[in-house]
């Protein structure tokens, strides 16, 4: 099970982040085209800007339901999580993730649209000296990004994959 003892530190703004190593847990999902190839390409591109520390298996999931957005046109997703380290602060990492998503295919015209790739930053922690789940987790929020991910606790497949990532 996920460690319930983790406490989040105060919110940081971009100016609060100094050049140091951060660890992130990222989620990857694809439900259009060659889903596995889309995931592989995204991970390959990401390796150019971060260090991959650990990765879960790929899990096939049904589309999420939304009260606000139609998801009837969604096919099943392939998903996985990975832990990465980077000297990028959260907004800079997010900007690079958006570039990767746009390159592979991420519909930004319609919220909750089917997509070739979706990469979310779920969690972050400072440093890399201990296992991720044993460190102090950090919070970050601005207009484009919320860490921890705003809906993480409501997505059972993500919690299952987090357990796999933290307790292999």
pTM reported for the whole predicted model: 0.85
46: domain range?
A: 20-166
Show pLDDT as tens, one digit a residue, over the chain (168 residues): 333 344 333 334 454 555 578 999 999 999 999 999 999 999 999 999 999 999 999 999 987 776 766 667 778 899 999 999 998 999 999 999 999 999 998 777 767 678 899 999 999 998 777 888 888 899 999 998 999 998 888 889 999 999 999 998
Q: What is the pLDDT of residue 121?
A: 97
Q: Determine, yes or no, domain membership for 12.
A: no
**Domain annotation covers residue 75:** yes
In a domain, 141, yes or no: yes
- Give the H or E element holding residue 27: strand 22-30
Q: How far apart are CA 162 and CA 56, in angstroms?
A: 8
Distance, CA of 157 to CA of 163 (rounded, Å): 10
pLDDT at site 56: 97
Instruction: Specify the CATH number for the domain of residue 54.
Output: 3.30.70.560
Where are any strands of DSSP class E within 37-168? 51-55, 59-61, 77-86, 118-126, 137-141, 146-147
- The rounded distance, in Å, linking the Cα atoms of 64 and 53 is 28
- What is the total count of domains within the chain? 1
pLDDT reported for residue 13? 46
* Euclidean distance between CA atoms 24 and 153, whole angstroms: 17
């Amino acid at each position: 099970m996920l460690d319930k003892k983790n406490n989040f530190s105060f919110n940081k703004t971009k100016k609060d982040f100094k050049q140091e190593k951060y660890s992130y847990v990222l989620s990857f999902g694809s439900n259009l085209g060659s889903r596995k190839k889309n995931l592989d390409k995204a991970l390959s591109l990401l390796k150019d800007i971060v260090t991959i520390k650990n990765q879960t298996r790929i899990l096939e999931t049904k589309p999420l339901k939304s009260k606000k957005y139609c998801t009837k046109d969604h096919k099943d997703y392939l998903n996985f999580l990975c832990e990465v380290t980077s000297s990028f602060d959260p907004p800079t990492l997010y900007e690079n993730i958006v570039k990767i998503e746009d390159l592979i295919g991420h519909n930004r015209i319609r919220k909750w649209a089917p997509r070739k790739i979706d990469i979310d930053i779920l969690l972050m922690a400072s440093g890399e000296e201990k296992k991720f789940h044993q460190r102090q987790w950090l919070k970050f929020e601005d207009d484009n990004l919320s860490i921890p991910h705003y809906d993480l606790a409501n997505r059972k497949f993500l919690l299952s994959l987090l357990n796999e990532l933290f307790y292999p």
